[in-house]
Copies of this chain bind each other. A is one copy, B any other.
Amino acid sequence: MTPELLPTLRSTAECRQQADAALEFMHELYPICRSITGDGVRRTLAAVGAHIPLEIHEVPSGTQVFDWEVPKEWNVREAWLADAQGRRVLDFRNHTLHVMSYSLPVDAVMSLEELQPHLHSLPEHPDWIPYRTSYYREDWGLCVSHRVRESLVPGQYRVRIDSTLAPGSLTYGEFLHRGQSEQEVLLFTHVCHPSLCNDNLTGIAVAAALAAGLRAGQARLSYRVVFAPGTIGSITWLARNEQRLGALRCGLVLGLLGDRGPLTYKRSRRGDTEIDRIASLVLRQQARAHQLVDFSPYGYDERQFCSPGFNLAVGRLTRSANNAYPEYHTSADNFAVVDADCLAESLQVCAAILRTIDGNCTYVNLSPKCEPRLGKRGLYRATGGAHPAEFEHALLWVLNQSDGGYSLAAIAERSGLPFATIAQAADALLQAGLLAATETQDVRQRDT
């Protein structure tokens, strides 16, 4: 019998209510200056931890993680540029994007000409501040709207970036909801972007809401939600959890879940795993609009989970993809980009995907030669000749396909019936003693 998962994230109304709460949470997180390390991440995880139990991990700078090492920790207190008259041309206090992430400290007076190589702006979007990082090359930079940059007159400018780049640690947080099985479903979202709204405060808020929702129900599988910096965070997590990956049944990288684009599922490298099948099934049956895209090694942390040495059953769910909307990685990725109904739909579809994974058992029909007599078990209408109902069709589909080779999701796919109806039919047949669970549900499975 499938336990009820995410009971509070079922109806559109419930999800819209959660989306409003998520938006409120995002307003709280927006001003924080996050990077791949540092206090911004810690404050963000603390805020998440106010809603769900979160285990915080600190990994020291210099720790070897596969081909990489954990970088020095970066923190910034203030950053500004002032003209010869001492007027602040830009100030980090106004927008966290003004300082290039991982900028070295600087306090100097220089000519506009000397300053220019350190300025970043977007001529094609003169009012937007770009988002720039320099994690692995020691440098400093200021990001500025092109309009402001153009207004700068020749002369002397004072630049001050009060930052530190020093041994410290990389911080990530983990939420775990234990189910009946040791097998885990992974949700991963990146927490390293500063004041950018769709990318990726929506991902953080949706992951937190799903974690909170999981606590309210019963689960067959276990669910791990990881909040970590992008790239180096997933690499670090994989390095520290390599021995446990056998228990990872499938996973989903979450991000960019609030914009008005259609929900977009990006397939795992294998392309035909359980999460690929289920995401496609749920999106087809429940999303207002959606697109499925093939794996490519460019994007977010699916790159690491799907590197050839792991090749995990991990896909990615976003609305617009990275690089696929004009405001991406600029100050214009603010609350105007995010729509509450879209955020609610993202939550609802995520919940449905998790619910489907949790219920995706594989059975064997214990009466496989001819159909068993459903009528004598109270599962079939007594008077023949008229059309059977959808539930009776679902019973027949589950019986016919349950030879140990087809999961319930595969049966839903082949039959075209809703997964919930198929799962309900399987429960009824299980109770009637006509099905047995296969052991394959307890091993890492390739649902192909």
Residues of A within 8 A of B (CB): 65-68, 100, 120, 130-137, 139, 141, 231, 234-235, 238-239, 242, 269, 294, 296-298, 303-304, 306-311, 323, 329, 365, 367-373, 375-376, 382-388, 393, 396-397, 399-403, 414-415
Contact B388 A298 (CB under 8 A): yes
**Cβ B308 vs Cβ A400 within 8 A:** yes
Q: Report chain B residues within 8 Å CB of A386.
A: 130, 132, 329
Known: A307-B371, A373-B68. A133 touches B298 (CB 8 A): no
Known: A136-B382, A384-B132. A66 touches B370 (CB 8 A): yes
> Which of A323, A386, A397, A399 has most B Cβ within 10 Å?
A386
Residues of B within 8 A of A296 (CB): 393, 397, 415
**Beyond A66-B372, A130-B386, 17 extra complex contacts between A and B, CB < 8 Å:** A67-B367, A67-B373, A132-B385, A134-B383, A136-B382, A137-B375, A137-B382, A139-B383, A141-B383, A269-B400, A297-B399, A307-B368, A308-B403, A309-B368, A309-B370, A323-B387, A329-B386
- Which residues of chain B have C-beta atoms less than 8 A from A130's C-beta? 385-386
Residues of B within 8 Å of A414, CB to CB, are 294
Q: How far is the CA of A382 from the CA of B133 in the complex (A)?
A: 9
**CA A323 – CA B388 in complex, angstroms?**
10
Cross-chain contact B137 with A370 (CB below 8 angstroms): no
Asked whether A397 lies within 8 Å of B307 as measured between CB atoms, the reply is no
17 interchain pairs, CB-CB under 8 A:
A66-B369, A66-B370, A67-B367, A133-B385, A134-B384, A136-B376, A136-B382, A137-B383, A235-B371, A239-B369, A239-B370, A297-B399, A298-B388, A298-B396, A307-B371, A308-B401, A329-B385
In the complex, which residue of chain B has the Cβ closest to the Cβ of A134?
B383
Q: State the majority secondary structure of interface residues on A.
A: loop
A434 to chain B, nearest CB (A): 9
Min CB gap A438→B, angstroms: 13
| Chain B residues positioned under 8 Å from A402 (CB to CB) | 308
Asked if B307 and A370 make an inter-chain contact with CB atoms under 8 angstroms apart, the answer reads: yes
Nearest CB on B from A349, distance (A): 27
A383 to B308: give the CA distance in the assembly, Å.
26
Are A68 and B307 also in contact (CB < 8 A) when A136-B376, A384-B135 are? no
Chain B residues with Cβ below 8 Å from A134 are: 382-384
The 7 closest A-B pairs by CB, nearest first: A309-B368, A309-B369, A297-B400, A137-B382, A297-B396, A133-B384, A308-B403
Complex contacts, A269 vs chain B, CB 8 Å: 400
Distance to closest chain B CB from A25 (angstroms)? 25
A308 to chain B, nearest CB (A): 4
Chain B residue at minimal CB-CB distance from A67: B372
In the assembled complex, the Cα of A300 lies from the Cα of B297 at a distance in Å of 42
A242 partner residues in chain B, CB cutoff 8 A: 369
Q: Which residues of B contact A303 (CB under 8 A)?
A: 371, 396, 400
